[in-house]
Amino acid sequence: MPPLRERSEDVILLAESFIEEFGRTYKLGQRTPTETSRELLREYHWLGNVRELSNAVKRAMIMHDAETLQPDTIPVSIRTTNSLATQKWNSNQLVIDIPDGGVTFEEVEKHVIDHTLKFTRVE
């Protein structure tokens, strides 16, 4: 059987199965992933295969008690991959690539201020 990362169509079926199982096991009730959460799960390259998916779903369910699994309930390691879903979810978040030589505080501060100004409305 090919690895999970090559069977993206199975990811959601497995995730829903885990949601049902963990809901029963931990008495958490039923949860429904949002479409963006589904896309994050589908787009992620599951190097840890089914066990990694199981752990991600379990963590999302235990750590958050909402009836829907929002993108922010998905572990950050999955949300921060370079997938289309992540780009949609993180479109207004600041990411700073730090070179091997490092950066000064002033350089980081400038990036943060510039980014903040792009998303600030003056009324």
pLDDT tens, 51-80?
999 999 999 999 888 899 988 888 888 887
Residue at 38 is within a domain: yes
Residue at 105 is within a domain: no
Residue 70 contacts by C-beta under 8 Å, 6 or more apart in sequence?
Answer: 34, 36, 37, 64
Report the domain count for the chain: 1
Residue at 120 is within a domain: no
Q: For the domain that residue 66 is a member of, what is the CATH number?
A: 1.10.8.60
pLDDT of amino acid 91:
53
Q: Which residues form the domain of 44?
A: 4-90
- Local confidence band at 89 (pLDDT 50, 70, 90 cut-offs): very low
Residue at 22 is within a domain: yes
- Local confidence band at 35 (pLDDT 50, 70, 90 cut-offs): very high
Residue at 54 is within a domain: yes
pLDDT of amino acid 45:
86
Residue at 26 is within a domain: yes
- How far is the C-alpha of 2 from the C-alpha of 55, rounded, in Å? 20
Residue at 64 is within a domain: yes
Mean pLDDT of the chain: 83
